[in-house]
């Protein structure tokens, strides 16, 4: 229960993220940071996160929901430039002058932060999706997302531990078949959910201890969205849910010892 609770908490927390700048605001940012630069086009996707092929004619929304897909990314506003970038030192000075905090820089690229947004200044690349230089603005992870994710993990984990303890007590008086079903379902479901659980823990710890300034924001549920991982996680949750149903059914049935206690009484009454 801790894993879905952590993802739900992070999802709620991400709703407090700052909105992306509009196309007009983005053009103003570009002209302020890179005066005289020629803007080829501005592409804006206001989604918090989305699949790259989501909404395309070939995309299957049901398959994405159940199985997942590749290329899960953050919403962004991208300025594609038709002119080369100035030196990183010059661009960094303009970033600072405009109120952006320069988080990282190298010979060709920079990352700045301001008002809950991250700005990436990226040179042209051999990658087909970035043939020319660009500015890319994304939302920084809000503090509330990490806080609610951690709270969800702790509270959900505690409830899950209590539920597992209660289930073990109930199964002790169950039939051998019911005990076997519970054991197989709980072990199989836990194994299928384990990769997502580990990824959520790594993401939570990494966001606070291992992340470098300017790293792109990845939500705690990022790994869960990949093709195949999402399907395995859903199947694991379904198996754990079915196991819980077996435990509940067992808890409402009288135990073997109770049936033995009542059997002599029934026989004596019949006599």
Q: Do 118 and 38 share a structural domain?
A: yes
Asked which of 34-38, 76-80, 196-200, 263-267 is least confident by mean pLDDT, the reply is 263-267
Number of domains in the chain: 2
Mean pLDDT of 114-120: 94
| 178 lies in some domain | yes
**Two structure tokens written together for 101:** 């905090």
Rounded to an integer, what distance in angstroms lies between the CA atom of residue 60 and that of residue 67?
10
What is the per-residue pLDDT across 50-101, written as a single tens digit (0 to 9) for each?
A: 998 887 878 888 888 899 998 899 999 999 998 888 888 888 899 999 999 9
Write down the mean pLDDT value for the chain.
Answer: 85
Task: Choose the final residue of a domain: 76, 110, 140.
Answer: 140
Q: Is the pLDDT of residue 267 over 80?
A: no
Q: Do 200 and 88 share a structural domain?
A: no
| 206 lies in some domain | yes
Q: Do 23 and 129 share a structural domain?
A: yes
8 A C-beta contact, residue 57 and residue 103: no
| 46 lies in some domain | yes
**Two structure tokens written together for 92:** 């960094």
| 232 lies in some domain | yes
Q: Do 116 and 29 share a structural domain?
A: yes
| 4 lies in some domain | no
Q: Do 180 and 95 share a structural domain?
A: no
| 265 lies in some domain | no
Q: Do 210 and 245 share a structural domain?
A: yes
| 3 lies in some domain | no
Task: Choose the final residue of a domain: 107, 140, 173.
Answer: 140
Please give the pLDDT value at position 223: 92
Q: Do 169 and 87 share a structural domain?
A: no
What is the per-residue pLDDT across 160-201, written as a single tens digit (0 to 9) for each?
A: 889 888 888 888 777 888 888 888 888 999 999 999 999 998
Q: Do 133 and 163 share a structural domain?
A: no
Q: Do 122 and 148 share a structural domain?
A: no
Rounded to an integer, what distance in angstroms lies between the CA atom of residue 167 and that of residue 86?
64
Task: Choose the final residue of a domain: 123, 140, 157.
Answer: 140
Rounded to an integer, what distance in angstroms lies between the CA atom of residue 216 and that of residue 135?
14
Mean pLDDT of 30-37: 88
Among residues 37, 28, 26, 124, the alpha carbon closest in space to that of 83 is found at 37
**Two structure tokens written together for 29:** 């940012």
Rounded to an integer, what distance in angstroms lies between the CA atom of residue 87 and that of residue 34?
11
| 2 lies in some domain | no
Q: Do 120 and 22 share a structural domain?
A: yes
Q: Is the pLDDT of residue 135 over 70?
A: yes
Among residues 211, 212, 38, the alpha carbon closest in space to that of 220 is found at 211
Q: Do 62 and 153 share a structural domain?
A: no
Q: Do 136 and 23 share a structural domain?
A: yes
Stated as kind and residue range, the H or E segment containing 112 is strand 110-114
Range of the domain at 156: 144-258
**Two structure tokens written together for 242:** 């079915």
């Amino acid at each position: 229960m801790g894993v879905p609770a952590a993802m739900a908490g992070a999802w709620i927390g991400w709703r407090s993220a700052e909105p992306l700048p509009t196309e007009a605001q983005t053009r103003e940012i570009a002209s302020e940071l890179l005066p005289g630069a020629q803007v080829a086009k501005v592409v804006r996707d206001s989604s918090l996160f989305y699949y790259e092929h989501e909404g395309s004619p070939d995309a299957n929304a049901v398959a994405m929901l159940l199985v997942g897909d590749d290329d899960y990314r953050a919403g962004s506003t991208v300025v594609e430039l038709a002119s080369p970038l100035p030196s990183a030192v010059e661009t960094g000075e303009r970033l600072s002058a405009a109120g952006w905090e320069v988080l990282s820089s190298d010979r060709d690229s920079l990352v700045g932060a301001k008002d809950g947004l991250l700005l990436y200044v990226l040179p042209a690349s051999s990658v087909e999706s970035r043939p020319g230089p660009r500015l890319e603005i994304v939302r920084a992870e809000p503090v509330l997302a990490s806080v609610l994710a951690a709270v969800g993990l702790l509270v959900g984990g505690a409830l899950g531990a209590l539920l597992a303890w209660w289930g073990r007590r109930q199964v002790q008086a169950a039939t051998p078949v019911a005990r076997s079903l519970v054991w197989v379902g709980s072990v199989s479901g836990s194994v299928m959910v384990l990769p997502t659980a580990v990824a959520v823990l790594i993401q939570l710890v990494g966001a606070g201890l291992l992340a470098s300034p300017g790293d792109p924001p990845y939500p705690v549920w990022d790994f869960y969205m990949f093709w195949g991982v999402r399907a395995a996680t859903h199947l694991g949750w379904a198996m754990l849910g079915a196991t819980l149903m077996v435990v509940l059914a067992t808890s409402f049935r009288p135990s073997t010892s109770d049936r033995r206690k009542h059997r002599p009484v029934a026989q004596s009454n019949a006599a």
